[in-house]
Amino acid sequence: MRHFLLSAGSLLALLLCTCGSAQAQHNLSYQQLNKFELEILPAQDNDALLRDELAQRRPGRARTFAVAIPTQYRPGNSGEWFTDGNEDVWILRLKSPGAKTLNLGFSEYNLPEGGRLYLTTNEEAIGPFTASDNAEHNELWTPIVGGDELVVELRVPTGKQKEVQLYLTFVNHDFEDVRQSLSGSCNLDVVCSDEDGWGIVDGYRDIIRSVAAYTLGGRDQCTGFLINNANEDGAPFFMTANHCAISPNNDQSVVTYWNFESPTCRQPGSTQSGQLGFGNRNIANSGAIFLAASANSDMALTRLEEPVNPAANPFYAGWSLEELAPTDTIIAVHHPGVDEKRISFTYSTVFRSAVNPFTESNTGRFLTVSQWDIGTTEGGSSGSPLFDRFKRVRGQLWRGAASCDNPTGYDQYGFFTASWEGDGTPETSIKGWLDPCGTGLTQMDGFDFTQVGAIVTTDDNCQQNCTSNNTSFELTLGNNFPNGTNISVVEGADGLTTSLSSTTAGPGETVTFTVEGGDIAVGIYTITLRATGGSVSDDITLTLDLFDAQAISPIILEPLDGATEVSLLTNFSWDPVANASDYEVQVSTTADFTGLVIDVDGIDNTILDIDGLLDPGTNYFYRVRANSLCGASPWRVAAFATSNQVCAQGVSTDLPLTISASGAPVVTATLDVAEAFDVGDLQVTVELDHSFIGDLSATLTSPDGTTIQLFTPPSNGGCGGDNMRVTFTPTAILTSADFNGACSTNDISIDGSYQPAESFGAFSTSSSVGTWTLRLTDGANQDGGQLNFFGIDVCSASGQVTDYSVQAQGNGLEACLNDPTGGSDLVLNLGASYDASTDVSVNIGFDELNNFTSTLDLDQGTLVLDFSNWNGLFSGNYTLDVEVTADGGIARQISVPLTLLAAAGASELNSPADMAELPEAAVTFNWSPDQNTESSTVEVSLTDDFASPIASETTTQNEVTIANLPAGGTLYWRVTSQNESCGGDVSNVRSFTFEGTSTRFFGEDRSLSIFPNPATDALTINLSGVWTDGLDGQLYDATGRRLRDYRVEGAGRTQWDVSALAQGVYFLRVQSGARQFTQRVVIR
């Protein structure tokens, strides 16, 4: 326990300290912000939403006041940026028409240092949210603001825009007006006092400050309270009801509202008491960390992400573990209807009860309050604390019938004492959180916020370690300690070598206390350190459990050493070992463990569920060891032999299946088992995502119609957890009763291996072959989800099997439409019972295919289907329904995915146009590829048969530029389309020439090109085609005087000398046979 020494002056300073919530301070008025573009969200029907909500409200259910509108707003895709001095400012203006209040959910929130986020309406402004609000989960959920329109204003230092992570994914639209929630007039305000005739309230001012209203996901609302812990360190543990549905998936969206109270006392029974109290929610905390929950006592425990807002002046409520129900004065502090905080009293009977509130039980996990004498509770009070006359918490509100209209109605609370041990795990109990060092305390008084600055804290008061290892504690001084505070060890360190990183420290500073490892006696050491500075002093007690022995070898439970006829579906289990951190398991086919088939380490429980099956009729060697801080234990070794069974597997292929949130749907999933034998061993795996899995139950039906109950509603229907991943097997260590009590609020509420609700022995006379059916029943409205996996492993009882299995090799068939051979073979693996009479048929939908031949190889156990073509089909995805029929008409069907691919079609050439005359420069080629084209190759050639291309370039684009093409003569180009799977086609051919090139066609595929023009020293003559008569040319000047004669004998390129000619205009006449033409030539 702690001891506090405060001087009168220090205490007075604390008492006189007044704190108010910070006001949002930014440079733009709401009128200025109003000028920015307005994003209008989809309209909501408030009346319809409220009708639906009121129809679903019931005791034990959180109240919903808002609907979440999904959004996708980021600074990069919406709003407006501008610069204001040395800051970049982003403004997003939103309107959800008709909303009574708004609050926001950012699924990404990470601001750089100096960044500030504000929310502004025409009624109020909140903020700033800063980099100090960055969290590991990267989210931010804001308090509510009034009205249906708000402005998000982000300010960051200039140049830090790219460091902002901000993604607004939910705008929560209030359809009820949570601010206008009215509680019944019989309620008593916590502000009422002796001056108002309610002196009874004055004695409970401290515990009143422990209670807060909160919202979850910006939509739901409940009450919760701060709870003290054995370390009395001001850790912000916040307790509430499990049915309010806080979980690891949504804990970051908790927003707590402190001191939401009426500023005046409204006399119970008065008109004013049933009207608005004008309290405010301007003191809030955002975010929590889920710790534990149990539906069996309707308990949930969280830890707020940040220390409680100092302006709340909070109080951490005490608690009691008494087994008997409290008597005399009983107090409830709560937010009825999530209205301003109220207080209620009863002097009537309070008793321990079972789930039925009227059934008294000495072992009941609940407390029933028969009725209230002053005040009442209402919806929204859920999760609020019940105090005994010593102001210690005894429970939290689950459900009830009490109200101002029903003054004799009961209320039922989860019993704090039952929640202490919970369901026996850290995730389902509060003991390990509120008394982490196991002090054995059975009651604690409350702890006042004013004491926080005068204490020494550490993250972990109790540690375990091996004697050879050093152990360190980080000690932090509260802010009331002065500089130079002395720190010393005062008790419990005898026989230990200890050290302090510093013997003095100042406010908020951390000192490391180390216990050095070595030759130390084992045992539990309780060490007290004292910090003394000026008039402030505090003792902190640390617990260190030292041990020096390595962990002992675990005792093997399954399979036992020497066991025979072990099922191929067996799991491996062993007894837990004290101080073990984890376990290792190895399974081998050799005694020296060189033939490992299973090698798993880091196992944090005592059961290993293996994937797949062991081999039949095989000797195995199995060993397990425990690891601890002092090293690994010796291996514990066992040997066993598996049964000579034959096994089969089946997996449902029609998943996922939606489980509707409306009504009470029944979802049916089926799977087929191909092998035929009498059922011996069986295990069934079910994986599903679903909120409130207490609604679910399931049956399993064999192919012959035998049905058993696979599981019943977890926690007898009360499990509020989400999701399930369970394998049901009769060899599981955990029973169906364990399954019923396994509800947790982990991401997967129930996970592991359990025995089924009814024995699989009912299937012992059933055959494995055929269709197995899972029927999943959702017995309640609202919650929904989907079935993701349903699978069966089944093994024979006798080892005798008729194997008519069919499996396709690979992951399906892929073929090209343009391949006349069909492109691919489908290979089927057949079971051993097929013979030469085996037949096969293939369908696509209702159409039977005949485009294949089949080859049966009984020695290899294969059936090969060779497809020849796919005429009549288009490219796309199909399903081949293959049926293999054995002697006697035994037929097995499988479905094989078929993907038909098309070759890339010919591209359409765009530019240059055919026979274009281009400037002598780089040429840009452009075309329109076919939809199946993955790449294109452009070729340029001197001949139209492309026997010798002079340029080639491949691209995934539809345009390419090629430089340095030869001038003179005709050039030809084309594009070849390609795709990796099925090839492609070639486009048509186009030609082009460069400016300064004259080309003439002389018939019979002959062409003549003359270049360059103008010329300086020579003219180049290029002949294409067959020139039997050759070519003659005569050059004339401008007066018609004949100057030169030329002769070319055949196709090819020839140069005619013009270097001796004067600059000017000339005319060249060329002739071959009966064809001739004249070309104007410029010499310069």
Catalytic residue list: 243, 298, 382
Q: How many CA atoms lie within 13 A of 379 on its CB side?
A: 17
Give the contacts of 552 (CB within 8 A, at least 6 positions apart).
577, 578, 626, 633
* SS3 annotation, 216-277: ECCCEEEEEEEECCCCCCCCCEEEECHHHCCCCCCHHHEEEECCCCCCCCCCCCCCHHHCCC
Question: How far apart, in Å, are the Cα atoms of 431 and each of 263, 320, 459, 1022?
Answer: 37, 12, 17, 99
- Beta-bridged to residue 593, according to DSSP, are none
Tell me the Ramachandran region of residue 192: left when phi exceeds 0, alpha when psi lies from -120 to 50, beta otherwise.
beta
Q: How many CA atoms lie within 13 A of 287 on its CB side?
A: 17
CB 254 within 8 A of CB 302: yes
State how far Cα 799 lies from the chain centre.
44
What span, in angstroms and rounded, lies between the C-alpha atoms of 993 and 180?
83
- Beta-bridged to residue 511, according to DSSP, are 475
Residue count of the chain: 1084
Sheet holding 462-466, edge to edge: 462-466, 536-547, 523-533, 485-491, 504-505
Give the contacts of 660 (CB within 8 A, at least 6 positions apart).
778, 784
State how far Cα 25 lies from the chain centre.
36
- Token pair 């003549």: residue: 1008
What span, in angstroms and rounded, lies between the C-alpha atoms of 346 and 635?
61
Burial of 104 (0-12, 13-18, 19+ CB in 10 A): buried
What span, in angstroms and rounded, lies between the C-alpha atoms of 940 and 682?
69
- Beta-bridged to residue 491, according to DSSP, are 528
Tell me the Ramachandran region of residue 1052: left when phi exceeds 0, alpha when psi lies from -120 to 50, beta otherwise.
left
- Beta-bridged to residue 448, according to DSSP, are 315
Tokens of 932: 């199946």
Task: Count CB neighbours of 495 within 10 A.
Answer: 10
> Max CA-CA distance within the chain?
138
Give the contacts of 1041 (CB within 8 A, at least 6 positions apart).
none
> 785-811: b or e for each residue (b if 16 or more CB lie within 10 Å)?
bebbebbbbbbbeeeebbbbbbebeee
Give the contacts of 707 (CB within 8 A, at least 6 positions apart).
699, 700, 701
**DSSP secondary-structure letter at 454?**
G
Tell me whether the omega of the peptide bond preceding residue 326 falls within 30 degrees of 0, making it cis. Answer: no
What span, in angstroms and rounded, lies between the C-alpha atoms of 744 and 731?
23
> 25 phi and psi, to 5 degrees?
-120, 115
**C-beta pairs of 926-929 under 8 Å, 24+ apart in sequence:** 926/958, 926/959, 927/958, 927/959, 927/975, 927/987, 928/958, 929/904, 929/958, 929/975, 929/977
- Beta-bridged to residue 153, according to DSSP, are 91, 118
- Beta-bridged to residue 1012, according to DSSP, are none
What span, in angstroms and rounded, lies between the C-alpha atoms of 702 and 773?
7
